[in-house]
Structure 1
C-alpha cells in the first residue's frame, strides 16, 4: 500500500481505500466489532465509515497557521479525507479532528513530563546509527525523549498514555515528519518515517499480521 505522484509531483496517498477496508473490518460483527466495549454509533454502522467528512482546505490551512508549521503531506491528505477517526486499534480511541490537534507540550504536559523528567540528567543520547532504524530491526528503547515536547499530538485515548505523535524534528526529503506510537506498555516509541507508514503498520497490527 504505497503512494503515487500527482501531476504536481506531490505524493498522493490512497487514504480512502485503506480507511474503507479498515472500517469494513472493524464493523464485521464476527471479526472485530464484538471486541468493543460498546457497539459503534448507528450512523457509523449505517455509513460503514469510522471517520467523518473531510476537513476543508481552509480548515487545514488554519491549523497550519495556528501551529506555525506546514503539515506533512500524508497527514494533510488524511485530514482532507476524514476530519478525525474512531478506533484504529484497541489501544487508540480516536484520531483527533483539526480543531483538537496541538503540540504535546500544550495538550499533554503530564505525558511529556513522565517521559522526559530526569532524562537530561543522565547525559545519554541515542546515536544516529541506533535511532535511524525503521521496521522490524528497530528497538523501541532507541528513542529520543528530548523530541517529545516538540511533537504534534494527533490522537486521544481516555485514561491511557497510548498516543500517536508527529515529530517535526525528523523530516524526510519529501517533507514527511517522523510518526510515533507511544504507549505505557512500550519501552519507548515505535517510530515510522511518515504518518502513512504508521497507519499502515497499525492496520497490519489490527489484523494480527505481526
Structure 2
C-alpha cells in the first residue's frame, strides 16, 4: 500500500505552515499558502500518458491535493513566478517531465563529470535513508538520465523522483538536489521528503539562532582584541578577527577604529573595515566611502560599497556609483538587484555606449537591452571577447528579435556555439539552430561535441511534437 491520500494532505499542510512561518514581517500579507488547488483525475491521467508510466503513489496524491506549489522542499520560502522564472516551485501536472527532456544541459554536465563516489557503497548502505551521515555527493550519477523532474531548477536546486529505486509499495526515491551541496539528499519517497522538511527547517533555525547569538554576543573586550590584532598587523590573516569586523552589530560605535584600518596593507582588512563603514548611516561615513572609491576603484573595494552608493539618497553617492559603472567593468557585479540598480546600469550604458555596460544590463534581464544588442552584436568593430560576452548575456533575453543578430555574431566569431544553439532552440528557431551544427563545428576542439549532439536530438524531439516545460499539453479524452 502506498501513502494514504489523507496522510499526504497532512504532510503537505505541515510543510506549508512551516514555509509560511518563515515569512519576513513585510511579506506576511503577500501570500497565505504555497499550496495550490488540486489537479483533476483527467490531468493526472494525461500526465501519466505523457511520461509513459504510473506516478508513484505519494506524489500522485500530492498533485491531487495541490497541483504543484509556490515553493519546493529544500528551499523553504515562497517562490513566485516572473518573466525570467515562469516555473516556480513544485511543478504542475502539465509541467512535470523527464529531466532528460526538460534540462538536457544540466544532465550532460553531471554525466560528463564522471563522479563515482557512490559506486563503492553497497545497496544495503546506499538505500539506508535513515543514515545520519548521508553525503549528498554520494549519488549514483548513472540514475540521472531516468529522473523525473517535479520542481523548477531555478535558484540552484530541484526535486527529482527516481524510478530506478522503487520500494515494494511502488514509491520512487526522492532527491532534494542542490548545486551548492553539490548533489542530493535522498528519501525513500516524496512523502518522506515532505515529512522531513519541518524538522530540517527547525534545525536550521536553531543553528542560525545559535550563530547569531554568538555573533551578537561578542563583548566589547573581544571586539577590542580583534581590532588590536588587526591594527598591529601581527595577526591580520586571522579569519576570526575579520569575521568579528564583518559582523559588527553596531559599527557606529567603532567607526573611528574602522576608518584607521583603511590604511592597512592587507586588502582583506581594508575590505572588512569598509564593509562596516558602509553600514554606518551618517554623512561622515559616506564621505569616507566616497574618498576611498575615488582613490581605489578596484573590485575588492567597490564590491563592498556599491550597495551603499546605490541606496544612499545623497546625489554624490549616485554619481559615484554611476562613474564606477561607466568606467569599471567589474562594478556592476556588486550592484544590488533593485530597480535603482538596474536603472543606474542602464543609465551608464546610455551615457557611454560601452559594451560592458550593455552586457551588465542584459545580465540583469533588462529588456531595454534587446534593441541595442540587435544593433551591436553584428558590429565588426567589436573585439571577439566583447562580442562573446554580449552574446552570452543576450541569452538571458529570450526575444526572437535577437535571432538574426546572434547568427551574425557567430559568423563574426566570439559567441559560445553551444549556448547560442540552446538559445535558438529555446526561441523555437530550430532551422537556425540546426544550421550551426555543422561537421566543422562538431570537429572543433573548442566545442563540446556531446552538447551539440544533444541539441540536435532536442531539435528532432521538438519537430516530432515535444513541448517544453510550461507549454500547455492537450489533455486526452477520459477512457
Secondary structure of the 1:95 match is coil
Secondary structure of the 1:169 match is strand
- The one of 89, 101, 104 equivalent to 1:109 is 104
Deviations 1:77-128 (A, max 9, x none): 00000001112457364101011100011111122122111428x7983442
Deviations 1:186-206 (A, max 9, x none): 142211110000111223222
Structure number with bigger Rg: 2
The residue that corresponds to 1:20 in the other structure is 13
Q: Distance in 1 between matches of 2:137 and 2:118?
A: 13
CA 1:52/1:149 → structure 2, altered by over 3 Å: closer, same or farther? Answer: same
Normalized per residue, which structure has more strand? 1
The residue that corresponds to 1:170 in the other structure is 165
Q: Trace 1:49-88 onto structure 2 (pairs within 5 A).
A: 49-88=33-72
- The one of 85, 92, 97 equivalent to 1:97 is 92
Q: What is the CA-CA distance between 1:39 and the residue it aligns to?
A: 3.1
C-alpha contact (below 8 Å) 2:12/2:62 kept by paired residues: no
Alignment gaps of 5+ in structure 2: 80-88, 207-479
The residue that corresponds to 1:139 in the other structure is 135
TM-score by length of 1: 0.79
Normalized per residue, which structure has more helix? 2
Deviations 1:108-164 (A, max 9, x none): 1122122111428x7983442442221224222321011111100001142x33110
Q: Trace 1:34-45 onto structure 2 (pairs within 5 A).
A: 34=24, 39=27, 42=30, 44-45=31-32
TM-score by length of 2: 0.37
Q: Distance in 1 between matches of 2:191 and 2:117?
A: 33
The residue that corresponds to 1:3 in the other structure is none
C-alpha contact (below 8 Å) 1:89/1:206 kept by paired residues: no
Q: What is the CA-CA distance between 1:26 and the residue it aligns to?
A: 3.2
Q: Distance in 2 between matches of 1:10 and 1:115?
A: 31
The residue that corresponds to 1:33 in the other structure is 23
Q: Distance in 2 between matches of 1:25 and 1:100?
A: 25
> Which one scores higher on RCO, CA 8 angstroms, separation ≥ 6?
1
Q: Distance in 2 between matches of 1:182 and 1:175?
A: 22
Deviations 1:3-46 (A, max 9, x none): xxxxxx55414233223233334334xxx1108xx83785x42x
The residue that corresponds to 1:125 in the other structure is 119
Q: Distance in 1 between matches of 2:203 and 2:98?
A: 31
Between the two proteins, the alignment pairs up a number of residues equal to 191
